[in-house]
Structure formats: structure tokens, C-alpha cells
Amino acid sequence: MLLRLDKVAKFYGRKIIFKGVSLELEAGRILLLCGANGAGKSTLLKIMAGLIRPDAGRAAHTLTTNGRLGYMGHQTFIYPAMNALENLRFWAGMHGLEYRASDLAALLQRVNLLPFAAEKAGAFSRGMAQRLNLARILLLEPELLLLDEPATGMDAPSRAMLEAEIIAAAARGAGIVWISHSLEADLPRAHQAALLEGGRLAFLGSATDYARLLTGAGA
Amino acid sequence: MQRRVSYIYAAPVPALLGGLLMAASQLMIVLVAPVEERMGLIQKIFYLHLPLAWWGLFSFFMVFVCSLLYLLRRDFFWDALSEAAAACGLLLAVLALATGSIWARISWNTWWTWDPRLTTTLVLCFIYAGFLLIRRMDMTPERRGGVSAALGIIAFLDVPLVFFSARLWPQTIHPQVVTQGQGGGLDPSMRLTLICCLISFGFLWAALLTLRFRLGRLEEVLNARLLVQEPETAGNHPQNNEEKNNG
Amino acid sequence: MIRAALLMARKDLLLLCARGAGLAQALLLGLLLLFIFSLARGIAEEFSAQAASAVFWMATLFCQVLIFNALYALEEDNGQRQALLMLPVPEQSIWAGKGLAGMVILLAAQGVFIPATVVFLDQDIQGGLLGGLRLILTADLGLAAAGSLLGALAQGRAARESLLSVIIFPLLLPLLLAAIRLGAEAISGAGLEEAENWFRLLLVFDGLFLAAGLALFGFIYNAQE
């Protein structure tokens, strides 16, 4: 088991955001996390990432190597005053990873940013910054990927590249929790689905069951 | 986390007792305590000054203890209590400085002098005023709790250093000033009056603290209610959240 | 942890120097303070060594607040703070890295303030170089430890510089008093009877804030908004 949440609850002061959230994720599986705006998806993802602590319950992941956790949040984590390559080099260094310049260039090529390697990241569009963010995560060869609407600002080719990377990561054995704003398009790629609604986990099961539920409700 | 706010009955008891005792101790200050020979009538301000200073300092110590307990337990109860203690401590310490200043003006002909105790009290006022300001910043309750608990601990550990540095600082006027008032040979009737004042101020302090504490807890509840209307964190089931708030 | 802290310090120094604005603001404010206080001297009056030392350390203190505010603001453009907090190193390395970077900049700023003190406040430095160096290093260590810890309050741009100084100045009072006294000694060259006591106080202060930084940094700097 890669990731396990056990009766996790989160409050904002005295207000409940959600409670009693339990789920498990195995290596190589993609879990699509659904819910309306403000249901607490992002908060739940931050708890999974260990960024904030749950007010009740337990959240634990079992990574073989510490730090192999890739989290893409609402923000791009990019230093605007550094260029794309310097950004990657800094994060690699902070993670204690040794990378040659050619490795970093190949990584930038993977996210189609190589022509902009020497440009200040502050001049990047949202989609480009998000791609650089993706490169920063791929750098870690993550075992667990936590993606909070990763396609934000990306154009169609970039989105296709992102989805290919997600599927490839799962094929390599990474566990993935994915919050997506284009549910119909991404549901077929997921193995599991979870719906956060009304302060609790309203659905947890296979992605195909959830798709059936959605079409059933729509009909 | 979900404790109810039912401290409404807590405040009147110490308030009532404090009021009665305060009246009694005022009478004692006027009728029982003798007029001090050297300093004259102004010395009677001492019966207000000392309890204010002591309870003020005790409040600040309480901030430290509550901060530690908050970090250990992560219960907003301690967070709210530390805020209440800081607010009460600040009020009493400022009043202690004011009464001390009036006393100093009359008996030593100066409003202010560089004395370790005076300086430390003043710096404490600054520190805890800053503490209360930081708490008014725009933060999540959780972060506010952590930040102010950390500050509460740092502030208290810093106090001895402030005191020693103020004592090392070259003093030009009136070294040993404050000890004159409370030196060994206190008249028994003076001591009785002082003790009575200390106790009555203790009840007053407890009443203020409970009121301020309750205010903080009510604010928490109110903030939770207000949040329901906010789209970012509230979700689309306000009635559901409302229901859980009461639980 | 040490490796990460050094990398962090290096990145911060490069970014602050590249951006320039925050650094220049801190330096200018310190210099302005030194200049304005030189007006406090009446015509044909001497500025005492103690007064000059006090003004010098005031300039350093204001500079310190601006520096650490700028250092922590670097992590707020695109939420880099969250990524830093997910690193496989203890969060104290952020505190140590920023403290180190801040101390380097502070020392550089003092390199400007010392000649400015001599010029604007008309001082003639008579004290030994070694004593002065010892004072500046011990005092700056405390300033960096405390500044890096409390500068983290600026997380999420919640605390502005003005609010930060309101919190930080009263807490720094012991350090300030010791630095002013020892600084006066370093300027005038006159021996100070309690010099060793003042130094001990500085060291205790350094120890307190180093310990507080290690123990409490995580409560001040975290992923909360």
C-alpha cells in the first residue's frame, strides 16, 4: 500500500471541511479525486502531501526513498528571477540529486521547454510555468504523484503530453492522485475514483463504476 | 476542537467577589493602612501598583504555559486562553506602569527612570502588544495558534535577558528605587491591606480573563458561521455544515 | 541539512543581488538613518561614542528587518514555500540557510555603515580591530538567528516590515543594549568594566535564539496561509 488515509478530518477553526475520509492507493494506480469547488479536494491533497496535518485520523505514505513525492498545487513553485534550467538545478540540489546538464536538458525537452531553457521563468505563460513545474516533479522520479488540476493554463498539445506522462508514471509503478477539471476526458484513464461531497467521501470505488453512476444520474 | 462555549456563568462569580473585596480593600487603604512617614500620602498608590504589576506578570507567565500546552495538545482552548491572558496582562502592566509613574513623579520628581524592573515591564508591554497585533493578522486559525504559541514561548524566555541587560546598563539616577517601598519592615496593617488588595485584584483579574476568554471563543464560533457563506472553503452544502457545527 | 542550507543561502544571495531592490532599500534606509541622526548633533557639539554606537546599531536593526523580510518574500511569488517544506530535509535548513544569507548581507551592509558612522557622526575609531570584529560577529549571529526565525512571520505576505519590526525590536533589546555598550567601547577604545558580562549576555542571547530557531521554526513557517 502506497498511500493510506484513515478517518482523516480537517477543520477550519471550528468549521468542518471534511471528516471520516478513509482511502487507500496502491502503486501503479490512478485515483481521480472529484468534488465541487470548495469541497476540500485541495486540502485533502495537501494532507496527503504532508503539507498540512489532519485534525483527526491518520495519513501515511510508504515511499521507498524519502522525497520521491511529486506534488503539483495551484501554484507553480517557480522562481521567476531564475531561468528554467536554474530552477531545475536548484530543486535537484535541494533534493540531494546529482544531475548532469545534459540530463536536465533532456528533461526540459520532455516537457517541450528546451528552447526556453535560458529564459527567465518570470516571463513564462501559466501553461509554460506549469510544464516547468511538471519537469521539476519528473526530476524526482516520484513514486507518488499528487496532482491538483495540473492542466491549468496548458494548451491542447501540452495537455496531451501531461496525460502521457501521467500514464507513463503509473506504468512505471507510481501511485497517482489526480484532481481534474475535465472529468469526462480523464475518467477513462483512471483506475479508481473518489467523490468528496458534503464534508465526507460520498463515493469511493472503481472509475468505471463512477462513470456509470454519472451517466445514470445524467439520464 | 468542538467544545461548547458555556463559560457564560463563569465570569460573574469572580467579578462579584472581586467587586466586594475591592470595595473592602479601598476602605482598608483609606482607613487601616497608615500614612507612610517619608513618602506621605502618595505611598498609598503602592497598594494598587503592586497587585497590578504582580497579576500582570502572572498573566504573561500564563501566556507561556498556555503556549506550551497548545503546542502539545493542539487544542484551541489553550490558544484562546493565551490570548485572553496576554490581553489582561497587557492591561494590568500598563496600569502598573502608569501608577508607578505617578508615584515616581511625586516622590522622586521624575516620570521615568532607567530601572531594570521598569524597563522590563515596559518591554513586556511592547512584546505582548506585538503578540496581540500578530494575532489580528489574516491567518488560518491553525497557523495563528502555532505562530502565537511560538511567540509566547520566545517572549517569556527573552524576559530574563531583558532584565539582566537593563540591570547591566549604567544607571544614572535612583538605583535601588522600588525596593524602598516593599523592603523588609512592612507595618502589619500595611501588610494586611496589601494582601487584601492582592486578593481582590486577583478576582478582578480572573473576571477579566474569563470575559476575554469567552469573547475569544465566541469569536471562533462566529467566524465558523460566517465561513459557511464563503465559496472557497464552504462547499455547496451549507445546511450540512451548520448541522455539524452544533455537534 | 547543512548542504541544503548552504544551497539555500547561495540561491538567496544570488536572487537578492540580482533583484537588487530589496537589498538597496535596506542599505539606503540604514544610511539615511545614520545621516538623519547626524542632524541631532548641535553645532560645535561632539557626538559621544555611545550615541554613535546606538545610531549604528539602529541602522543595522532596521536593515536586518528589511533583509529578512525580503529573504522570505522570495519564496512567496509562486508558493515555492510549499515545495521547500516538502523537501526530504528538516525545515530548519530553510531557517539556517536564510539566516546565513541574511548574516552575509548584514555584514556587507555594516561594511558600509561603519565608514558612514565615521563620516556622518564624526567618529574616530580607537578600539582594537579584533574586539570590534568579535562584537560584530557575535551580535550578527544573534540578529541572523532571531531575524530568520521571526522573518518567517512574513510568510504569505501577512506581516509587513512595520509589523515585523514591532515584534522584533522589543525582543532584540538585550542584544541591542549589549551591542551599543560594546560598540561604544570599540569606538572610543576606553576599557569597559563589564565588557565580559555584556559578551556573556550576547552569547546567551545567541544561544537562546539558535535554540528557539531549531525548536520553533516549524510553527512559524509552514504550509498554512
Q: Where are the domains of chain B?
A: 13-33+42-216
Q: How many domains does chain C have?
A: 1
Residues of chain B with pLDDT under 70: 1-10, 171-185, 227-247
Least confident of A12-16, B228-232, C76-80: B228-232
Q: Please tell me which of the candidates A16, A37, A197 has its beta carbon nearest to residue B241.
A: A16
More confident residue, A67 or A69: A69
Q: Sort out which chain C residues have CB atoms less than 8 A from B126's CB and list them.
A: 166, 169-170
Mean pLDDT, all residues of chain C: 90
pLDDT score at B230: 44
Rounded to a whole number of angstroms, the distance from the CA of C168 to the nearest CA of chain B is: 8
CA B196, B201, B203, B206 torsion-angle sign: negative
Q: Kindly report each contact of residues C45-50 with a partner whose C-beta sits within 8 Å and lies 24 or more positions away, as own/partner.
A: C46/C122, C47/C121, C47/C122, C47/C123, C48/C184, C49/C123, C49/C184, C49/C185, C49/C187, C49/C188, C49/C190, C50/C180, C50/C181, C50/C184
In this complex, the chains that touch C, judged by 3 or more CB pairs closer than 8 A, are A, B
Residues 6 or more apart whose CB falls under 8 angstroms from that of C58 comprise C33, C37
Grid coordinates of A73: 498545487
Furthest-apart CA atoms within chain C: distance in Å: 61
Q: How confident is the model at residue C202 (pLDDT cuts 50, 70, 90)?
A: very high
In this complex, the chains that touch B, judged by 3 or more CB pairs closer than 8 A, are A, C
Q: Please tell me which of the candidates C163, C204, C220 has its beta carbon nearest to residue B133.
A: C163
C180 touches chain B (CB under 8 A): no
Grid coordinates of A210: 463512477
Q: How confident is the model at residue A64 (pLDDT cuts 50, 70, 90)?
A: confident
What are the pLDDT digits (tens) for B76-119? 899 999 999 999 999 999 999 999 899 888 887 888 887 888 88
What are the pLDDT digits (tens) for A172-200? 999 999 998 888 888 888 999 999 998 89
Grid coordinates of B144: 495563528
Q: What are φ and ψ of residue C41, in 5° steps?
A: -80, 130
Instruction: Please determine, for the modelled complex, whether the ipTM score is greater than 0.95.
Output: no
How far is B91 from B212, CA to CA, in rounded Å? 12
- Domain of residue C181 covers 2-223
pLDDT score at B1: 43
Query: Are residues B143 and C149, on separate chains, in Cβ contact within 8 Å?
Result: no
Nearest CA-CA partner of B145 in B90, B68, B204: B68
Nearest CA-CA partner of A10 in B141, B113, C65: B141
The Cβ of residue B69 has, within 10 Å, a number of other Cβ atoms equal to 17
Q: At which residue does the C-alpha cell 522600588 appear?
A: B178
pLDDT score at B236: 38
What are the pLDDT digits (tens) for A142-172? 999 999 999 988 999 999 999 999 999 999 9
Torsion, Cα of B180, B186, B190, B193 (10° steps): 90
Mean pLDDT of A40-45: 92
**Is the pLDDT at C197 greater than 50, yes or no?**
yes
C169 touches chain B (CB under 8 A): yes
Q: Kindly report each contact of residues B239-242 with a partner whose C-beta sits within 8 Å and lies 24 or more positions away, as own/partner.
A: B240/A198, B240/A199, B241/A15, B241/A16, B241/A199
Mean pLDDT of C202-215: 96
C223 touches chain B (CB under 8 A): no
Nearest chain A residue to B2 by CA: give it.
A14
Grid coordinates of B239: 445546511
Q: How confident is the model at residue A218 (pLDDT cuts 50, 70, 90)?
A: low
Grid coordinates of B210: 474569563
Q: How confident is the model at residue C225 (pLDDT cuts 50, 70, 90)?
A: confident
Nearest chain A residue to B225 by CA: give it.
A15
Rounded to a whole number of angstroms, the distance from the CA of B56 to the nearest CA of chain A is: 29
Residues B132, B87 contacting (CB under 8 angstroms): yes
Q: Please tell me which of the candidates C216, C219, C224 has its beta carbon nearest to residue B139.
A: C224
Q: Sort out which chain A residues have CB atoms less than 8 A from B241's CB and list them.
A: 15-16, 199
pLDDT score at B217: 87
pLDDT score at C191: 77
pLDDT score at C164: 86
Query: Are residues A50 and C224, on separate chains, in Cβ contact within 8 Å?
Result: no
pLDDT score at A183: 83
